[in-house]
Copies of this chain bind each other. A is one copy, B any other.
Amino acid sequence: MNRTASIKDVATHASVAVGTVSNVLNYPDRVSQRTKERVLKAIDELGFVRNDAARQLRAGHSRTVGLIVLDVGNPFFTSVVRAAEDAAALQGSAVLLGDSGHDAGREANYIDLFQEQRVQGLLISPVGDVTERLDLLRERGVPTVLVDRLADESKFSSVAVDDDAGGYLAARHLLDTGRRRLAFVGGPTDIRQVADRLQGAQRAVQEEPGATLEVLTSEGMTVLAGRSVGNMLVQRGRDELPDGIFCANDLLALGVMQSLTMTHTFRIPEDVALIGYDDIDFAVSAVVPLSSIRQPTEALGRTAIELLSEEVESQNPTHRAVVFTPELVVRQSTGKA
């Protein structure tokens, strides 16, 4: 039970040449029925398992794809990862997953590791600005697709979600259900996603004569941050209250919902309609089920793999930037007033 059997051991055991064993594994049709059976028997008896390192070495490349995300704990990425894995499996590849945790150092480690593994390509949701590193990868000939980030289309392919469109969708929905005095909750505003969602919301409001949009900057995107914004709102007089609130993510929205329902001063959706963003699992099971904007995470993951395949296949590099439009999910929190 010391060493794992090699193809040579199998060959000896079955009294055939190593090439034949390899053929049984890779081109079964080239081998006669009798020989095949003998070889398979030997494989079984010795408990032979292919050594992928040797395979790769010979092939010159692996059958794996590297995927580096900012945070595996984030349901957005979890879902993207799963979709990417499934898509990769379909074309016979496996995904090596790396979690950078928003840390440039860890990200760099994974990039190095994946290069040593000779991955077919890299899907990456990069930390901050890593143009130089990525340029290096490009020169080294490692096909790379950016995830959840737009890229210079002359250099990289990318998949992303249109946050401006998402913001528009949310605000438009509030307007469609009769609300006119809207508020946007989110922050810090220098996060791109926050800025884009706000911009989309503003666009929708400008299209609607008489509608207004108040911007409430939150300290972060957490439930607690949402609750303090909510508490501030509760202090206000009834007339100064917005009648529709769009939060830049669901956590904020849940926090706002807590403040408003806890005090029983205002009812959702009768007094205030509330919509979040991301459609996390908790949105359905909130006290008042929360309307939200769902991001097409499965499509993101799948498409990322597809774009990568395109790059791997064709040697002349034409890149594509695919942008998905998010989807409105209506629940009770934005019911008719």
Chain A contact residues: helix, strand, loop or mixed: helix
Q: Which segment of A54-62, A157-165, A178-186, A196-204 sits at the interface? A: A54-62
Chain A residues with a Cβ under 8 A of chain B = 1-2, 4, 47, 49-57, 62, 72-73, 75, 78, 81-82, 85, 89, 94, 96-97, 99, 101, 109, 112-113, 115-118, 136, 139-141, 222-224, 227, 254-255, 258, 261-262, 264, 282, 284-285, 287
Q: Are A141 and B2 in contact (CB under 8 A)?
A: yes
Docked-complex contact A139 and B51, CB < 8 angstroms: no
Measured CA separation A112–B48 after assembly (Å): 11
When distances are taken between beta carbons in the complex, the residues of chain B under 8 Å from A282 are 223, 282
Given contacts A4-B141, A262-B287, contact A97 B97 (CB under 8 A): yes
Bound: A118/B89 CA distance, A: 20
Q: A47-B139, A140-B4, A285-B227 are contacts. A52–B118 as well, Cβ < 8 Å?
A: yes
Q: Given A140-B47, A287-B258, A287-B262, decide whether A96 and B99 contact each other with a Cβ distance below 8 A.
A: no
The answer to whether B287 and A116 have CB atoms under 8 Å apart is no
Closest 5 CB pairs of A and B: A223-B285, A53-B56, A52-B116, A53-B57, A53-B53
Are B62 and A72 closer than 8 Å at their CB atoms?
A: no
Q: Check if B49 sits within 8 Å of A139, measured CB to CB.
A: no
Give Cα distance in the complex from A51 to B85, angstroms: 24
C-alpha gap A51/B73 in the complex (Å): 31
- Residues in B with CB closer than 8 Å to A97 are 97
Q: Which residues of B contact A284 (CB under 8 A)?
A: 224
B78 adjacent to A73 (CB under 8 Å): yes
